[in-house]
Structure 1
Amino acid sequence: MAPQDPKRERARFVATAFARADLLLELDAQGRISYALGAASWAVGRGAEELIGKTLDEIFAPGSSKVRDTIRLAAQQGRRLRPERVLLRRAGGFTRANIAGFPVPDAPGNFALSIAHEEEEPVATPANEVQRSPETGLREPASFAADATAAIKAARDRGEDVKLTLVEAPGVTALKNSMTVAAGSEFMQQVGAFLKAGSVGGDTASQVADDKFSVLHGTGVDGNVLAAGIAELAKAHDPKGKGIVAKAYALKLDDVDMSSPDVARAVAFAVSRFAEAQDGEFSLDSLSSSIEELVEKTVKDVAQFRGALAGQGFSLVFQPIVDLATEQPLYQEALTRLQDGSSPFRMVTFAEEIGVIAELDQSVVTQVLTMLDKDPSILDITANVSARSLQSAAFSNELEKLLERFPDARQRMLIEVTESKRIANFDFTAKVLERIRKLKVRVCLDDFGAGATTFEYLRLLPFDVVKIDGGYIKDLGDNLRDRAFVRAMAELSKELGLVTVAEWVEARKQADVLKTLGVQRGQGFLFGRAAEKPLRKPGFVESDNVAAADARVDKLRRQAVAPKRR
Structure 2
Amino acid sequence: MNRWSLWRALGTRLVVASLLVELLMLALLVCNAWRVTEEGLLEQSRLRMQEVGTLLAAALAAPLAERDYVTLQELLDAVRRRDGLSYLVLLDADGRQVAAAGWNTQEALPPVADNAQLDHRYGARFDGRRVLELAGQRLGELHFGVDLGFLHQLRARLLSQSVLIATLEMFASTLLLGLIGYWLTRRLHALSTLSEALADGGQAQRAAEGEDEVGRLGRAFNRMADAIAVRIVELEAARDQSRRFLAHTQTESARLAAVLGAVRRGLLFTEGDGRIVFVNAAWRRMWGVDEQSGLVGRPLGEVFAYCARWLSDPTQLQFSAGERCGDERELRCTDGRIVVVRCETVHDAAGSGLLWIFEDVTRERETAERLLYLAERDTLTGLYNRHRFASALEGMLRTVERRGGSGALLYFDLDNFKQINDGFGHHAGDDVLQRVAREVGRLVRADETLARLGGDEFALIVTGAGENEASVLAERIVNAIGRLPCVCAGQPVRLSCSLGIALYPQHAQTASELVVCADAAMYQAKQAGRNAWRLFRLCADAGQVQRERMSWSTRLTRALEREQFRLFFQGIYRARDGHLSHLEVLLRLDDVAPAPPCLPGEFVAAAERSGRITDIDRWVVGTAVRRLATDLALPPLAVNVSARSLQQPGFAGFILHVLALHDVAPRRLLIELTESAVFADIQQARYFIADLQRAGCRVCIDDFGSGFGTFPVLRELGAEVLKINAGLVRNLGSAHDDGCFVRAIVQIARGLERTTVAKGVEDAATLALLRELGVDLVQGFHFGHPAADLPPEQFGGDGH
TM-score under structure 1 length normalisation: 0.45
Instruction: Select the structure that is richer in helix.
Output: 2
1 or 2 for the larger relative contact order (CA 8 Å, sep ≥6)?
Answer: 1
Q: Which structure has the larger Rg over C-alpha atoms? A: 2
